Amino acid sequence: MIDLLTEQAFSFVANPDAVVPQKYGHDQEAILNAQGLLAARKEISSWPGYQPTPLVALPGLARAADVNSVLYKDEGQRFGLGSFKPLGGAYAVLRTIAKEVHRLTGKHITAEDLRTGDYHDIVDTITVCAATDGNHGRSVAWGARMFGCSCVIYINEAVTASREKAIAAYGAEVRRVPGSFDDAVRAASLTSDSQGWHVVPDTAAGGNIEASRNVMQGYAVLADEAIKQLPFATPPSHLFVQAGVGGLAAAVVGQFWQAFGTDRPKAVIVEPHSAGCWFESFKAGEPVVVSGELDSLMAGLACGELSPLCWPILKPGAFAAMTISDTAAIDTMRLLADGKSGDQPIVGGESGVAGLAGFLLASQDRKTRAQLGLYSDSRILVIGSEGNTDPQAYREIVGRSGDEVRAISIEESCA
């Protein structure tokens, strides 16, 4: 076991309500289920450009961290948007439009029906709206453009100009408001109510259960892909997954729970120190809102309020939570880009590497290894939830562009 990160400090809390022997039950089924996955998979896999993202083995890192294997689900190339997010936001846009078409015509439609333009008189009247720290807004804007409706995206003051530009590139109107992500959520909701727009949030905190459930059901497609890609169909022993509002974590935990029951991996939720709403909620045994400066380089994870829809899955389903520093995320981005320990170089963005950073920190700490039951035969799965979604920030942190890192990776795999 060697120290892979310069930063060593992190916080860890075991989830006292974790119920490993419990079956995936009614409370969880009501949120994410096999039928929902089937519908999401059928729809999303029909979109142009769909292909499963790679599950990359990192044997060098596994050796250095003294575990059996580390698998990295690399979402960096998903639909060319750079993160897992189009699975959720764009899918929820489609479901929103389909519901409106059904309300007005009684017809059940798919994306294919919209592509033929048959319903453009209805779709033209629809505006979808979302608040975002970057990636969710980009995915909603991308979906709105693909399906032909209008789109307004709210961002807060901390969202970088490059992320704003990436959203606007899909034709969305972008509105910047003072305050945090949670303030942008409130602004999106208030304006949509007054304008008759359809809010497509990635959190149920504002009360929009249906859209945020669709978002999560779309995310579950990536977990389903990962399950099919597992070597020898053997479940991982541990899953490290980062959380903002918790939609990604709940979707992945829920899907592994449905697939493997009590043999599911021990799931560890990883968040920035400044925005540990899951960490604090596990500590308190009930949802807790974290306030104050939520700022983090891990922009996608800078949320102070968890999504209530994720609580019934992660309260019994997650084993522990950790918070980490921005420095740990930076170290991990560089370590992945350098292909340290002899692994294939990977482009991982600030929020995207947080799960891996959490695992590396836990693996370096004797006490946490014992708490998590991390041994040399442990099989680790991490979700690499974004690539260089902010190309400028990525270059500043890593010293090279995403394309340069990918070029080395391709050269090595051809050598």
Ligand X SMILES: Cc1ncc(COP(=O)(O)O)c(C=O)c1O
**Which residues belong to the active site?**
85, 133
- Burial of 276 (C-beta count, 10 Å sphere; 0-12/13-18/19+): buried
Restricting to residues 72-91, name those near ligand X by CB under 6 A: 83, 85
Point out which span in 6-14, 118-126, 168-176, 236-244 binds ligand X (CB under 6 A). Answer: 236-244
**CB of 32 vs ligand X, minimal distance in Å:** 13
What's CA 263's distance to the chain center, in Å? 23
Q: Is 393 an interacting residue with respect to ligand X (CB under 6 A)?
A: no
From 14-22, 239-247, 321-329, 396-404, span contacting ligand X (CB under 6 A): 239-247
Give, in order, the Cα–Cα distances in Å from 109 to each of 101, 106, 126, 137, 218: 8, 10, 15, 24, 17
Enumerate residues 6+ apart whose C-beta is below 8 A from 313: 28, 31, 32, 250, 253, 254, 257
Q: How far is the CB of 222 from ligand X (least distance, A)?
A: 11
**326 makes contact with ligand X (CB under 6 A):** no
Pairing of strands 55-57, 69-74: antiparallel
Among 385, 393, 400, 409, binds ligand X (CB under 6 A): 385
CB within 8 A of 290, min separation 6: which ones?
275, 276, 277, 280, 304, 305
- The verdict on 243 binding ligand X (CB under 6 A) reads yes
C-beta of 351 vs 409, nearer to ligand X:
351
Which of helix, strand or coil describes residue 304?
coil
Tally the residues of the chain: 415
Stretch that binds ligand X, among 300-308, 331-339, 340-348, 374-382 (CB under 6 A): 300-308
Minimal CB distance residue for ligand X: 300
Contact between 221 and ligand X by CB under 6 A: the answer reads no
Calculate the alpha carbon distances from 396 to 299, 332, 339, 388, 393 in Å. Answer: 16, 14, 18, 11, 5
- Based on CB atoms, which residue is closest to ligand X, 114 or 314? 314
By CB under 6 A, residue 380 contacts ligand X: no
Q: Is 201 in the site for ligand X (CB under 6 A)?
A: no
The reply to whether 246 sits near ligand X by the rule CB under 6 A is yes
Give the list of residues 6+ apart from residue 228 with CB closer than 8 angstroms, or none.
Answer: 52
**379 φ, ψ (degrees, to nearest 5):** -115, 120
Task: Please say which residue, 135 or 281, places its beta carbon nearer to ligand X.
Answer: 135
Among residues 363 and 385, whose Cβ is nearest to ligand X?
Answer: 385
Buried b (16+ CB within 10 A) or exposed e, 280-314: bbbbeeebbebeeebebbbbbbbbbbbbbbbbbbb
CA 243-299-209 angle, 5° bins = 50
- Six-digit token pair at 281? 């909620």
User: Whole-number minimum distance, CB 164 to ligand X, in Å?
Assistant: 15
Nearest to 76 by CA among 60, 55, 45: 55
Torsion angle defined by CA atoms of residues 130, 158, 74 and 400, in that order, rounded to the nearest 10 degrees: 140
> How many Cα neighbours within 13 Å face the side chain of 231?
14
Interaction mask 303-322, ligand X, x per CB under 6 A: x-------------------
Q: Is 247 in the site for ligand X (CB under 6 A)?
A: yes
Q: Per CB under 6 A, does 294 bind ligand X? A: no
Strand ranges across the sheet with 320-324: 11-14, 320-324, 266-272, 238-242, 379-384, 69-74, 55-57
- State which of residues 92, 153, 166, 245 lies at the interface with ligand X (CB under 6 A): 245
Select from 174, 248, 309, 313 the one that contacts ligand X (CB under 6 A). 248
Q: Classify burial at 121, counting beta carbons within 10 Å of its beta carbon; exposed 0-12, middle 13-18, buried 19 or more.
A: exposed
Which pair of tokens denotes residue 406? 């990918």
Nearer of residues 289 and 370 to ligand X, judged by Cβ: 289
Size of residue set near ligand X by CB under 6 A: 21
Smallest distance, ligand X to C-beta of residue 152, A: 18
**Residue 133 or residue 224: which is nearer to ligand X going by CB?**
133
Between 242 and 258, whose beta carbon lies closer to ligand X?
242
Among positions 199, 211, 259, 301, the unique one binding ligand X when judged by CB under 6 A: 301
Q: Print the binding letters for residues 120-139 with ligand X: x by CB under 6 A, - otherwise.
A: -------------x-xx---
CB nearer to ligand X: pick between 67 and 241: 241
The β-bridge partners of 12 are 322
User: Any contact of residue 218 with ligand X (CB under 6 A)?
Assistant: no
Of residues 100, 182, 343, 386, which one binds ligand X by CB under 6 A? 386
- Which residue ranges make up the site for ligand X (CB under 6 A)? 83, 85, 133, 135-136, 202, 242-249, 300-301, 303, 351-352, 385-386
